Structure 1
Amino acid sequence: MVGHKGLLLLRAFLESPGRIFDKASLMDVAWPGVAVEESNLSVQIAALRKLLGTAHDGSEWITTVPRVGYRFAGPVASRAQSATPQRAESNAQSRPIIAVLPFDIIGEVDKEYLADGLTEDIITALSRFRWFRVIGRGSAFIFKGKQIDVLQAARELGARYVLQGSVRQSALRLRITAQFIDASDGSNVWAERYDLEMADVFAIQDEIAERVAGAIEPELLKTESHFAALRHTGNMTAWDLVRQGMWHFHKVTREGHLAARTLFRRACAIDPDLPESHIWLGRVSAGIIAYGWSDTPAVDSKEGVDAAAHAITLDPRDPYAHYAFAIANAYNNAPLVAVSAAEKAIALSSSFALGHLILGLARLFTGLAREAI
């Protein structure tokens, strides 16, 4: 017979099917705040296995992961899911999809990083809304520098709406134009031009995100739109260094990553309270290790993990911070920590593509190839 402790364990397994639970985590679930012998956990697992029996292929529903813990290996479907699978899929599909195409830079070619950085800032700001899905940077940036019809881009990306624009810098002033287009008929939902000082650029991506959200769901206009603005500290030099680093990062070359890391380090030193500086330092450190470009993997790994952890303390609601912590830990031989961080990133933003990517990678690193797929 399974008692209350066993049911607590079973609920934890069913709420996270496929997840590997280390023994300490499971003991915290069943005996929170109480020191008990590990044998108590073994007894409860044995009771659950007896209750559940074996699967059709003879395997156990709860499998042992050597030297780590346990995981629930069977499929899980709630009554609501099993009764209305098409409705759940329909709800997901009914959320409008937005593509943010790379903004053009007008004038100085060496300011290309400004346009790319602003585009990525807007994607980040939009990803905080749960009411629509946002095409990831990797897919949207395939159109960078190409003469392509906006409606064609929307069709290729499967997007209902497209945001496009341009950036022009003159001395310390920026002119930013933006158009939000309904790809179903090619009509302009809204268009705006911003003339502003460089110091005011922090608010622009958030205002554009507000306008996009308001055009789709007017009642959401003021509900969540200021989270991104809270991340900024007003240090323009650090902000600019991060955008330069992002530009080098996306070249995906050894020289580009090393140059980006130098810029992110400078940004962290100049403005320790800017979360993006630490997020990107965590990401580039993991990348340098992943691509085999590190001469001191242990040192670089620690720098990445520490930077990403600091980013989370600065802004725990930013999915990118948890993503950075996940990928840094994935390449720090801590895949279970990476899994947990990736799950947190997805919980904050369910359509966050990078979160799903690193969750798959982390599961692969734990030996769960099927779940990774």
Structure 2
Amino acid sequence: MNPVQPANAGIDTAGVTALLERGRTLALPELRTVVARLAPPMDTVAAYHFGWIDAEGRPADGDGGKAVRPALALLSAEAAGAAPQTGLPGAVAVELVHNFSLLHDDLMDGDEQRRHRDTVWKVHGPAQAILVGDALFALAGEILLELGTADAARAARRLTAATRALIDGQAQDISFEHRERVGVAECLEMEGNKTGALLACACSIGAVLGGADDTAADALHDYGFHLGLAFQAVDDLLGIWGDPESTGKRAWSDLRQRKKSLPVVAALAAEGPAARRLGELMKADARRDPSELAACQDFDEAEFAERAALVEEAGGRDWTAGEARRQHEVALAALTRVDLPASVRDRFVALADFVVERRR
């Protein structure tokens, strides 16, 4: 499935691949070095989470993901006229915070799989998932403040604010699961906090470390924020209609967890029989005991297929795809507010196109 096709569909695949590879190549050794600071067994648990070792502690070839955030942080430094390596501490710090959130979210959401392997809480237990997540968050601030510069302090403030917004977003997301109705505006606010804030930080933190003023950094922040909303809208589509072989999660993943994701919320806000029927099912969910609801993740597949069909019939799928395209356009418009070398601007555009076009 191609979730969203951007208007300027000629995506520079080779250029994006090179950017992501640069982010991975530069950030991964630093990430390994920083994670090695953790006390046992947290260092081993973190290594498992990042895919560097398997559940038995044997070396594995995991690369920790697509490296979108590190790629953006390094490109952000170039936007300020600095070398990409200037943004490396920011790239690593953002990646640490991102993975702190994944460790905690997997536990809170009951997700048993990430990147085609058992999640940390499933293998090492909930306590280790919490502790390692906390430790990664602490390391993120530590590596920035160790630089000892005024720009590093500015970067740390931006990262702290983004982390607080991310946590706010997760709290909103959890609260939505126990409500019958959530407004579209509320859902967008939650996703802006949960996804947009950290991607916005990634897009500005390298520039801040490179000495950019707040006007330029804020424009890059806005690019990243709206790119994050586009990113999350595509994730929401994949959370219902994504191929499990590609996503690494079970079919109908978000429906199993009764998430009030954008397609669901948009469908519920519509009129017509499909929206009403979906609303009745969600109302019944809200009345269930949480333990009973968790057991309902294993409903017959026909149950989830029906819900997905109702969301689509009510217009939730098309609306979310349209919102992803709109946020993509707003993100690109933010780039016009900052003076960028043409090559840097082109790479920001290519990364934005990649985010909304991705299939997994």
Same fold (TM over 0.5): no
Alignment TM-score, normalising by the size of structure 1: 0.29
Alignment TM-score, normalising by the size of structure 2: 0.30
Bigger radius of gyration among the two: 1
Kindly indicate which of the two structures has a greater share of residues assigned to helix.
Answer: 2
Kindly indicate which of the two structures has a greater share of residues assigned to strand.
Answer: 1
